């Protein structure tokens, strides 16, 4: 499918930047005329992906996070969240509900939430080199007014 628009952000792994990322992606996606539910789902998935970078990729330091969003002709949005942090040694295990390496205050539901709100979720990671999460969601076309 042909890409018709894209944007890219880079920021430090500060928790304050999670809201910035979710809002920026939501504003970018608004050109697809999503419902409030669709927009809420996208914002939640982006929040989870960025929070994973902040908490897990850079547990003891600040690092770089990149968010890219692309819109396609089929009214779909693809969002990529990438870090260059510690990586995930076992992606399959990390994607299991309730699994976390973030301590007792973490729910271990990040990937499960992303997967439930998006049509496609791909996770690639190399220990010591970082993680890339790619999410895709098709936005329903609403009837012309």
Return the bridge partners of 77, or none.
71, 137
What's the angle, vertex CA 43, arms to CA 106 and CA 132, rounded to 5? 65
The answer to whether 106 is a known catalytic residue is yes
Q: DSSP string spanning 49-65?
A: HHHHIIIIISTTS--EE
What does the alpha-carbon distance between residue 102 and residue 51 come to, in Å, rounded to a whole number? 11
Name the DSSP class of 107.
-
Is 52 annotated in the active site? yes
Across the strands, what pairs with 137? 77
What's the rounded Cα separation, in Å, for the pair 82 and 33?
26
Instruction: Report in angstroms the alpha-carbon separations of 79 from 17, 27, 43, 100.
Output: 16, 13, 11, 23
Which residue in 52, 78, 82, 137 is the catalytic one? Answer: 52
Of 17, 22, 38, 48, which is the active-site residue?
A: 48
- For the question of residue 18 being annotated catalytic, the response is no
Question: Which position among 95, 106, 115, 136 bears the catalytic label?
Answer: 106
Active site residues per annotation: 48, 52, 106
């Amino acid at each position: 499918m042909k890409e018709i628009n894209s944007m890219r952000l880079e920021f430090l792994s500060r928790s304050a930047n999670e809201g910035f990322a979710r809002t920026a992606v939501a504003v970018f996606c608004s050109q697809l005329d999503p419902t409030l539910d669709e927009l809420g789902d996208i914002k939640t998935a982006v929040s989870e992906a960025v929070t994973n970078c902040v908490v897990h990729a850079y547990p003891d330091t600040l690092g770089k996070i990149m968010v890219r969003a692309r819109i396609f002709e089929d009214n779909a949005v693809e969002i990529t969240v990438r870090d260059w942090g510690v990586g995930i040694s076992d992606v399959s295990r990390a994607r299991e509900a309730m699994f976390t390496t973030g301590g007792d205050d973490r729910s271990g539901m990040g990937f499960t939430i992303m997967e439930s709100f998006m049509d496609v979720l791909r996770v690639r990671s190399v220990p010591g080199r970082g993680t890339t999460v790619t999410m895709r969601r098709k936005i329903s076309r609403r009837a012309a007014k």
